[in-house]
Structure 1
Amino acid sequence: MSSAASPRRRGRPQGDEVRLAILKAANELLEERGLAGFTIDAVAARSGAARSSIYRWWPNRAALAMAGFLAETAQKIAYPSTASACADIRSQMMTVAQVYGGKVGRTIAVLVAQAQGDPGALKALLEGYVLPRREEARTVLARGVSQGELRPGLDLDVVIDALYGPIWYRVLVPHAPLTPAWAGALADHVFAGLRPPPVA
């Protein structure tokens, strides 16, 4: 038996490293080729992963494309954490507008269209992206209520729709530019109606 045994690897397990490489390759290919040119074989070649590994985690190319996109995009639109919950929401909305205003927004529109007829892609969109983002927004808004920035008794799901629905509308129906300045103004208008009444 050799005394020069290989040292034990530290850090993230190899399976997670492979998964991250697949997701990175998937997002790159989706941005380069769009969904029409996106294939499992291309992702396997770029990531160095076996097709069997890819299919172990994702049932089809649409689900993989969605997962790669979501894994990459979610990092770019995280919420800041300051003393003001409303300022955090406003800042994040402006970041979302910046990110969605270009190639990412066009990719989202394609993925949403794909999800309409693909239950697997829809599940990935909702569970991997939409619902976690809504839960994060709900947490920040609840902080705003508890700190007195927003009036109590608000339906936070309705508030989230009021804040972010127009952004999705401009992504899917690009009748006007999606800009940070517009997103900031949108936040100001919505929050103006949600403040506590002035103390008499």
Structure 2
Amino acid sequence: MPSFYADRLFTALERGEPSPGMLLISAPGMLSDMFARSVILIIEHNEVLTFGVNLTQRSELAVANLMPEWADVVAKPQALYIGGPVNQQSVVGLGVTRPGVDINAAPQLNRLANRLAHIDLRSDPAELGELVEGMRLFAGYCEWAPGQLDDEIERGDWYIVPALPGDVIMPGRADLWGDVMRRQPMPLPLFSTYPADVAEN
């Protein structure tokens, strides 16, 4: 089954290139349980590493209990998300700017895409609240060594697509993986209801 997806689905489609502001969408039939139905926003990609956070894994921990100074800025549901398996003691912030905000003029923000920014968490939350309409906090991150992500893409594990600002602050009840798949060219929308565990289908 995995060879079907790699050989027929992904090698037949035009591939995007990994870069900040792009999404890695896990392939239907992803063998890794950790990344099944994952949507990973790339924050940095260079010759040394690729670094990003998984947008889909919400924890049961409330931001108000862990980082109360950020509670008023974080979008609902106001929970800490699990950005990935690496260094879960660190926290990564992502935000969607208010209309008209110039990301490049705000030192607290590092532009990833239109209205989408990596946030410097050393910033004053009150000042940041004037710049963003919502943000998420992620414990940990995903990281790939040089060449590792390229090998996984070649194998058919990931599909690369542009991120939309709303992907980062999507409501907790939403199926982000399915929604991102549905807005892609055919045949990807056909797989938008593919379950994480085929046995559940």
Q: Shorter-chain TM-score: what band?
A: under 0.3
Bigger RCO (CA 8 Å, 6+ sep): 2
Q: Which has the higher helix share?
A: 1
Q: Which has the higher strand share?
A: 2
